[in-house]
Amino acid sequence: MLDVISSGFKEAKLKFKGKATLTEENIKEATSAIRKSLLEADVEYGVTKTFIKRVQEKALGQEVTLKAGKAQSKMKVSPADHFINICQEELEGLMGPVDSELKYAVNRPTSIMMVGLQGTGKTTTTGKIASFLKNQKKRKPMLVAADIYRPAAAQQLKVLGERIGVPVFHIEGENPVVICEEAKKKAFEWECDTILYDTAGRLTIDETLMTELADIKSSTSPDNILLVCDAMMGQDAVTTAKSFDELLEISGVVMTKLDGDARGGAALSIKEVTGKPIKFLGMGEELDRLEEFRPEGLASRILGMGDVVGLMQDFERVVEDDQEDQAMRMLQGQFSYTDFYKQIEMIQKMGSLKDLVAKLPMQDMFPQGAEVDDRELLKIKAMISSMTKKERLGADNLDQSRMQRIAKGSGRAVKEVQELHQKFTGMKKMMSMMGKNMGGMMGKIPGM
């Protein structure tokens, strides 16, 4: 995600290696690397220019302050860190401030009108937001299929609704304005407190589409209008956002497919160009791959400093009630393949391994270009699934013939099963040793 931009900042940081201070020359070299990467990532030209100017001015200002202060105290923070701090502030300024909270109505259902071009991920995002509202905001949402042109659109929404357990409203053969108006009445009957209208999209902006959307807006008076933009569309996404905002006055943007796009410059330009903030990020095709947008989190990920707050949020989202029990069993050496399987599933729910690693701090410690492969998790799951219940719980020892059977059942090589077992046993031993070392402390915990 945003790899091109990140690499520009990484290169910029290197320009200060071995340098004692910020100088006009090294600031210029560094910002030139950043400028190149921003343009390559399709950040709008004007936005790039202003951003670079702001960073340069601030850094040059720092240079003066640092020089003045040098006589009294030795510089504690390296020039690279000073420079990256400035970049962090300016990136946050570029994408924020953002209030990712939606506007909620009082005494009547809240409405959210979802708009966007076809293929941007609008329907998927509508489902993601409904699921987010249901699970994390404890609301009772309903989905409204108001796209009557794409043949499979209503069906797609119904399938999504079923998967997340949210009712879907649609009237076959009716026009979108009527569908949306009727949906408002239905919300009371179904006792739903949030209505999400999935409106039609087109391949490009045209008058018919815009008129229809304007009609839906005036008849439903939505509390929120969210525009779904595809990060892969680069500057076109920004132009589209401008047009939608001029006509509909959108509340904010959901930037999708940031997981897949190495460039994704639109994420940096959209607020500066349209004045409208990104409220959510779409980070994958799965329905739980939605993040509330935090400019400081994205800025810090771009700068290779991770995003611990984001990681904690991911964790809280997926953590299960028995996690504490599991941790205790682990420290007592009772950790089983069944527990391991559950943990893999939890990691998978948190997102792709690449995204998770990108949120860890001290990114410099990871080898550049190192690929973390989600398929490894799938292989391990397949091997665990091929074990018998007793083997999974550790009651039956895994001998050679059992390993052969597991390998055959999971379509993996025997060597892979052996490796898994070796690593698993090693990990279990290590955890148990840790548990013993913590013995004094654990004695105070009931049940230990």
Interacting residues with ligand GDP (CB under 6 A): 116, 118-124, 201, 256-257, 259-260, 282-285
Supply the minimum distance, in Å, between the C-beta of residue 122 and ligand GDP.
Answer: 3
Residue 378 structure tokens: 């799938």
**Which C-beta is closer to ligand GDP: that of 116 or that of 264?**
116
**Which C-beta is closer to ligand GDP: that of 79 or that of 201?**
201
Supply the minimum distance, in Å, between the C-beta of residue 220 and ligand GDP.
Answer: 19
Do 431 and 394 meet the contact criterion of CB atoms below 8 Å apart?
A: no
**Which C-beta is closer to ligand GDP: that of 155 or that of 404?**
155
Q: Are strands 278-282 and 224-230 parallel, antiparallel or unpaired?
A: unpaired
Supply the minimum distance, in Å, between the C-beta of residue 286 and ligand GDP.
Answer: 9
**Which C-beta is closer to ligand GDP: that of 213 or that of 387?**
213
Q: Are strands 141-146 and 110-116 parallel, antiparallel or unpaired?
A: unpaired
Supply the minimum distance, in Å, between the C-beta of residue 371 and ligand GDP.
Answer: 17
d(CA 2, CA 43): 11
Do 270 and 278 meet the contact criterion of CB atoms below 8 Å apart?
A: yes
**In which residue are the tokens 């670079």 written?**
52
Peptide bond connecting 97 to the previous residue in cis, omega within 30 degrees of 0: yes
Supply the minimum distance, in Å, between the C-beta of residue 111 and ligand GDP.
Answer: 19
Supply the minimum distance, in Å, between the C-beta of residue 358 and ligand GDP.
Answer: 15
d(CA 373, CA 359): 16
**Which C-beta is closer to ligand GDP: that of 322 or that of 373?**
373
Residue 34 structure tokens: 């950043």
Residue 287 neighbours by CB under 8 Å, 6+ apart: 124, 127, 128, 131, 160, 163, 164
**Which C-beta is closer to ligand GDP: that of 262 or that of 393?**
262
**Which C-beta is closer to ligand GDP: that of 111 or that of 120?**
120
Residue 348 neighbours by CB under 8 Å, 6+ apart: 374, 377
DSSP letter string over 191-234? Answer: T-SEEEEEE---SS--HHHHHHHHHHHHHH--SEEEEEEEGGGT
d(CA 160, CA 146): 15
**Which C-beta is closer to ligand GDP: that of 94 or that of 283?**
283
d(CA 174, CA 144): 13
Supply the minimum distance, in Å, between the C-beta of residue 283 and ligand GDP.
Answer: 6
Supply the minimum distance, in Å, between the C-beta of residue 233 and ligand GDP.
Answer: 12
- Helices marked H in 221-360 — which ranges? 235-248, 266-274, 295-302, 308-318, 323-331, 337-350, 353-358
